[in-house]
Amino acid sequence: MSTPALRFLKQRNVPHRVETYEHLEKGARFAASALDYPIERTIKTLVVELCPGGYVLVLMPGHLQADLKALAASLKAKKAALADAATAERLTGYQVGGISPFGTKRRLPVYIEQSLADFSEVAINGGRRGTMLKMDPQDILKALGARTLELGRPE
């Protein structure tokens, strides 16, 4: 089994472990439960449109919502909104529920909720529904050239 995300990480020698589960529903909560992994360390990948500014990826812990007003303010945009499913799939090359920030069709800037950087390991989508990667968030930051921002608020 290979995905563009796994090829991206392999080419760059980024350490990770692949974990699979039976994908019965979309969402970080289900993935965390299926893997028996903490929801606050399970990442959801969001495709967000900034106006003006184009699209970005936002990596959030599964138990928090992205504060889109804070994101827009941090990035000096007038507003930020979640992309619709068709746009997210077109930009990333992945199905919703399996979107990974690695190996996307179009390279997009990546922002990670600050709290995720405090963990030694997180779970993030591997580019296919039911495939998660366990890895050090510092390796995610380096591999993607990502920036941390405080963006989380309770769901």
pLDDT of the chain along its 155 residues, tens only? 689 999 999 999 999 999 999 988 888 999 999 999 999 999 999 999 999 889 999 999 999 999 999 999 999 999 999 999 999 999 999 999 999 999 999 999 999 999 999 999 999 999 999 999 999 999 999 999 999 998 877 76
Task: Identify residue 148 by its one-letter amino acid code.
Answer: T
Structure token pair of residue 41: 């360390």
In sequence order, the β-bridge partners of residue 110 are: 57
Name which of 86, 83, 99 is nearest 27 in CA terms: 99
d(CA 34, CA 28): 10
Global pTM reads: 0.95
Question: Which residues 6+ apart lie within 8 Å of 146 measured at CB?
Answer: 59, 101, 109, 110, 111, 112, 140
In sequence order, the β-bridge partners of residue 67 are: none
- DSSP assignment, residue 83? P
Structure token pair of residue 17: 């472990």
